[in-house]
Amino acid sequence: MIDRTIVRLTMRQLLGQKRSLLMAAFALLPMLIVLLYVLENDDLGTQRWVAEIGLGEFVIGLVLPFAALIFGTAALGQEFEDGTAVYLLAKPIPRYRIIASKLLVAWGATAAIVAIATVPSAIIGLAGLPQDGILIGFLIGGVIGSFAYCAAFLWLSIATSRALIVGLVYVFIWENIVVGLFDGVKFLSISEYALGIAGIFITAPQRTFDPLLSPAAAIVFAVILTSVAVYLAIRALRRWEIGEST
């Protein structure tokens, strides 16, 4: 299903860059915010704040989509940009294997960033408070959300040369503004899928954690969106044409 050479090349390409280090540093931001909050507050509202703001808004709403956008669009998009994609595409490799290999690396990198953002924040923020499955819920929701985001952004990077801009519009305008204003479009928000899936594991009261989507709906929509994105990515790669400038 995957090609080890492509996986290795992609890992070296993605992880050897400054932006990966910056991303890892960015992933520590929620932990710092949570730390500052708990130093000032130690009341019962802390659990709610950690779940809703620290993990919900900062990790799932910001770090996760941003990391997926960086890694998902760069996994193949960077090779289109610098001209090295031809070395992969001029080989007798089925296109689905290229997509699977690229997606695996982008997902792995994004999931690692999500873990860096989630685990210390939850440990620090919930120290001495009921855990209620918050850490494991956000971690698994984030990791599954990473896969859906990366599949979507990988497809975007093949379908358009402006994947980064389109991705930013989706994350910051669609997910953060439009979904907040119109409840009805929550089915088209990957971060809502991640939160819905986190709900499978979280036993905290509704006032602490109340996702827009039920776990079942989140799983179904995540599977549909990911499958469609992967299918479109494979199809787009099969039809990819070299640019005039290349």
Partner 1 sequence: MTEPAAPAAVEVTSVSRWYGNIVAVNDISFSLRGGVTGLLGPNGAGKSTMLHMLAGFLRPSSGTVKVLGLPTWGNPDLYHEIGLVQKREAVYPFLSGLDFVLDAARLHHLPDPHAAALKAIRMVEMESAMDRATGGYSKGMKQRIKIAAALVHEPRILLLDEPFNGADPRQRLQLMDMLRAMAAEGKTIVFSSHILEEVERLADDVLVIVSGRLAASGDFREIRKLMTDRPHTFHVRASDNRKLAARLVADESVYGVELMGESLEVRTSEFAAFTHAVATVARQAEVSIFELRPTDESLESVFSYLVRR
For binding to partner 1 (CB under 8 A), which residues are involved? 3, 5-6, 9, 12-13, 16, 82-84, 86-95, 238-239, 241-242, 244, 246
CB nearer to partner 1: pick between 83 and 180: 83
CB nearer to partner 1: pick between 35 and 93: 93
Q: Encoding tokens for residue 105? A: 């690396």
d(CA 131, CA 115): 17
Q: Encoding tokens for residue 54? A: 């620290």
Q: Encoding tokens for residue 8? A: 């290795």
Closest distance of CB 242 from partner 1, Å: 4
Closest distance of CB 83 from partner 1, Å: 3
Q: What are phi and psi of 116, to 5 degrees?
A: -60, -35
Closest distance of CB 85 from partner 1, Å: 9
Q: What are phi and psi of 172, to 5 degrees?
A: -90, -25
Q: Encoding tokens for residue 198? A: 């986190």
Closest distance of CB 184 from partner 1, Å: 39
CB nearer to partner 1: pick between 91 and 207: 91
d(CA 72, CA 78): 10
Question: What is the secondary structure of 113-138 as a DSSP string?
Answer: HHHHHHHHHHHHHTTTS--TTHHHHH
Closest distance of CB 96 from partner 1, Å: 11
CB nearer to partner 1: pick between 207 and 238: 238
